Amino acid sequence: MGKVNTIQDTENEIVEEFGLFDSWDDKYEYIIDLGKRLPPLDDKYKVDENKVRGCQSTVWLHADYKDGYIYFSADSDAVIVKGLISMLIRVLTNHTPDEILNAKLEFIDRIGMTKHLAQTRSNGLLSMVKQMKNFALAYKLKMESNGN
């Protein structure tokens, strides 16, 4: 399958959408809305090894691999974090491990999120990115060893 949109395309879309908002109140309302609309994660995936470390709230991240593409799903008990994951998923899901590993994810900086979130919370965001890339790396290595 795979998406027509590149990771960069989706990043640009998000930056454009955020450009429509005048204030951070509006941006947060949008993120909260994204969080509320994130499809629920099956309870069977809410296990310790899917927990993202470095977050003040509990975040679970799950990845499926099918025909060369990775599909992410996630949940959190905090809604803003859920909104942030929702954006990360929108950018990274349905891409190959290589595409995910090479993603620069500059949109996080470009929408002002790294600067706006306190360092500790920003770290939580970076932890999520790291975990998504770890999934990609794991699948990549698995596929390579299967291929040999």
Catalytically active residues, by annotation: 55
The pair of structure tokens assigned to 97 is 């491990």
> Cα(127)–Cα(121) distance, rounded to whole angstroms?
10
Is 102 a binding residue for another protein by CB under 8 A? The answer is no
Candidate segments 2-10, 28-36, 37-45, 129-137, binder of another protein by CB under 8 A: 28-36
Residue 67 region by backbone torsions, left for phi larger than 0, else alpha for psi between -120 and 50, else beta: left
Is 25 a binding residue for another protein by CB under 8 A? The answer is yes
Cβ proximity to another protein, 15 vs 79, nearer residue:
79
Among residues 73, 69, 78, 85, the alpha carbon closest in space to that of 127 is found at 85
The footprint of another protein on this chain (CB under 8 A) covers a number of residues equal to 17
Is 48 a binding residue for another protein by CB under 8 A? The answer is no
